[in-house]
Amino acid sequence: MLTASDMARLHGVEALYWGASYLAFDIAWSPTANWIVGWLMGEYANVTPHYRKIALGNLDELGPLLIASATPWTEGGPEENEPTGRKRHKGSTCGVKLHGRALFAAFALTASILESRTIPPIAELSATDSELITAFRSTYLSRFRSQPIGAVQKELQVSGLNQQEMQFALDWGSGKLNLVRGGSREKRPYKAG
């Protein structure tokens, strides 16, 4: 069985967005990136810890592969227009506390799914109680509407991301970096303050 980092290492980050049932995990559909983001949003909270470990266990290996890979990683498409957290269970938690490179991988994969949406998910991002979205709410929202730069910078500084990862997040939020070819085009500059 391939892990997400195996797929990215062997076939490039774009392989995480290929639709191939059960390619990466023996219990899930693909694209793998979408499935991982579903776990991160708490959509599979009722699944056993064994499968949670399979789904999220190697995110720390995936983070460096993502930041080192050329962008964009995937093509946008209407199938990516599902709401984040569409099948949320009680709690909106993935059940794993993410740090460092794993947290960056989670941020980046979620950013790519959000960017692929043809309808900016502003209301959804503003309302969700997902741990990951809550931790990076201003940064994610900055992709779709103006946010105070101070709020975005503070959010990133307390997140535990390293300097390179924070710059990646800032560049993505401001629209300087695109993870999806043909993804969301509504990019707004930061507001001072």
Write the pLDDT tens digit of every residue in 122-154.
888 888 888 888 899 999 999 999 999 999 999
Looking at the chain, the whole-number percentage of residues with pLDDT higher than 90 is 36
Write the pLDDT tens digit of every residue in 62-82.
999 999 999 999 986 544 444
Q: With cut-offs at 50, 70 and 90, classify the pLDDT of residue 8.
A: confident
Q: What is the pLDDT of residue 183?
A: 57
- Three-state SS for the chain is CCCHHHHHHHHCHHHHHCCCCCCCCCCCCCCHHHHHHHHHCCCCCCCCHHHHHHHHCCHHHHHHHHHHCCCCCEECCHHHCCCCCCCCCCCCCCCCCCCHHHHHHHHHHHHHHHHHCCCCCHHHHHHCCCHHHHHCHHHHHHCCCCCEHHHHHHHHHHHCCCHHHHHHHHHHHHCCCCCEECCCCCCCCCECC
Write the pLDDT tens digit of every residue in 95-123.
567 778 889 999 999 999 999 887 888 88
- Crossing angle, helix 163-174 and helix 100-116, to 10 degrees? 10
More confident of the two residues 166 and 97:
166
More confident of the two residues 28 and 45:
45
Burial of 52: CB neighbours in 10 Å, binned 0-12, 13-18, 19+: middle
The model's pTM is 0.80
CB atoms within 10 A of CB 175: 17
